[in-house]
Amino acid sequence: MRPYAIAAPIVLILSVASSVAPASAAAPGEGFDVTRYDLALTPDVANKAVSGRETITLRAMADGLSRLSFSANALTIDHASLDGAPVAVTTRGESLDFDLPRPLARGRTARLEVTYHGRPARGLEGTGASLHTSYFACDWMICAQERFGDKAAFALDLTVPAGMDALAAGERVGRRPLPGGGEVQSWRTPRPYSAYLFGFAVGRFVRAEDRAGGVKLAYLSDVADADALRRRFGETGEMARFFADKAGVPLPVAEYGQLLVAGREAQEAATYSVLGLDAVPAAPGDPAQDWAVAHELAHQWWGNLVTCATLRDFWLNEGITTFMTAAWKERRHGRAAYEAELAMARSRLDKARAAGFDKPLAWDGTYPSLGARRAVQYSKGALFMDRLRTALGEEAFWSGLRRYTRDHAGGTVTSADLQRAMEAASGRDLDTLFAEWVFGAPPG
């Protein structure tokens, strides 16, 4: 996501499972594991509303599981059942709780079915003529927003109004025309993803296409024509080749989409990104303006494929991506552009420090503001990657990044995983450097 602009009160979902002896209530990744979300969704484009029928397939990780907790949202739940038996639904603070008719035993698989409708408070942006999601997936469906560690398959049957096209997380695997116009498009993710990466868009989109190796690049918009899309996104293929080389992993999707909308949006989803006209230069080649396409594309590897296990290590998503954006600029525009990008990160961190705020990258506390969080997790994170690069040298550093990315592709990571990969690649003990920057305590 973009470094400084989304209005995101990032709230940790508190699970009560860990502190209660007879494990009864739990959240995804802690007490139970969601293996897939199957969603049939009908968006109301004009009113920025949705109605949905969702099946959550889950497995109990502890005995006596009697309550399933997801993120509270503004939706109205019409009906909920577990394997056919009715389930009581209660909102408790930040938590949307499903109280089960009977406790589940460890290892037991169950299906929670929920029908709902409403107007999401966040996460759904629209002009009246088109609609796209942005970050807060668990505002328009039932999931757990900050439970990054619980990756799950996502299958969406999306009702698309007549005359409109759609884009969603995953690959489009089917289209079924509806009587009276419109169609249902079926989308499936190629692998499990964290819930914040689920998303969709519907509208009267113009479409342009390109290729990067074996990957199709699709550019869509209802605010620009096909020529403008090709101009603005024309360097995507070259960026993808650069990131794939540095990751040691090809762009991990069959098709990568970019949806161009009005405004300053910059938000990654599982297999596509949403970018605002004001965040993307009208033509490539301006080093002051071309961060957004690179940043959101880099998330396909760092963030989406290799994902921080918890919010504590969110810097692994955003700091590495911010650094890789600078590395792309170095490749595209030369060393001065790399230095300029890092200087910007340094000034953001310095500003936080001048206000009395600085924390280790893996600090687990509550940030006083979104700006403070970003000064650490985005800016200081990028500066630490540059520090590692300088300390280890080109060969060991990039080899370490490849090892980290390859070893954890499709999985989740903590800061210790990055340290291990960099140590293995360089043959050096990096305890002191990681203690100073990441963990905040001297080794031993």
Residues that bind Zn ion (CB under 5 A): 1, 318
Q: Answer whether 312's CB lies under 8 Å from 362's CB.
A: yes
Nearer to Zn ion, 116 or 242 (CB): 242
CB of 119 to Zn ion, least distance (A): 27
Task: Tell me which residue of 395, 392, 398, 253 sits closest to 323, measured CA to CA.
Answer: 398
Between 33 and 318, CB nearer to Zn ion: 318
Q: At what angle do helices 415-426 and 381-392 cross, to 10 degrees?
A: 20
The least CB distance from residue 359 to Zn ion, in Å, is 19
Q: Which is nearer to Zn ion, 372 or 435 (CB)?
A: 372
Q: How far is CA 353 from CA 66, 346, 347, 357, 365, in A?
A: 46, 10, 10, 5, 17
CB-nearer residue toward Zn ion: 188 or 380: 380
Q: Please report how close the Cβ of residue 2 comes to Zn ion at its closest, in angstroms.
A: 6
Closer to Zn ion by Cβ: residue 1 or 65? 1
**Closer to Zn ion by Cβ: residue 32 or 198:** 198
| Least distance CB 125 / Zn ion (angstroms) | 17
Of residues 69 and 304, the one with the C-beta less far from Zn ion: 304
Q: Quick one: 27 or 279, whose CB is closer to Zn ion?
A: 279
**Closest alpha carbon to 141 in 125, 128, 159, 154:** 154
The alpha-carbon radius of gyration of the chain (Å, integer) is: 22
Minimum distance between the CB of residue 267 and Zn ion, rounded to whole angstroms? 8
CB of 358 to Zn ion, least distance (A): 21
- Listed in sequence order, the DSSP H helices in 138-290 are 226-233, 236-247
- We find the least distance from the C-beta atom of residue 325 to Zn ion, in angstroms, to be 9
Centre a 10 Å sphere on the Cβ of residue 9 and count the other Cβ atoms it contains.
Answer: 6
Which of 102, 105, 63 is closest to 83 using CA atoms?
A: 102
Collapsed DSSP state (helix, strand, coil) of residue 405? helix
Phi then psi for 166, rounded to 5 degrees?
-140, 160
φ, ψ at 10 (rounded to 5°): -85, 115
| Residue showing the smallest CB distance to Zn ion in the complex | 1
- Three-state DSSP at 189 gives coil
Q: Smallest distance, Å, CB 296 to Zn ion?
A: 7
Helix, strand, coil percentages (3-state) for the chain, rounded to 5, are 30, 30, 35
Look at residues 247, 172, 242 and name the one whose alpha carbon lies nearest to residue 213. 242
Are 194 and 153 within 8 A, CB to CB?
no
Toward Zn ion, which CB reaches closer, 267 or 399? 267
Closest distance to Zn ion from the beta carbon of 35 (Å): 27
| Residue that has been written with the tokens 């910007």 in this structure | 344
Decide: helix, strand or coil at residue 47. coil
Query: Angle 92-307-418 (CA atoms, 0-180°, nearest 5)?
Result: 130
Query: Alpha helix locations (H) across 214-309?
Result: 226-233, 236-247, 291-298
The smaller minimum CB distance to Zn ion, of residues 255 and 318, is found at: 318
Instruction: Work out how close the CB of 322 gets to Zn ion at its nearest, in angstroms, rounded to a whole number.
Output: 7
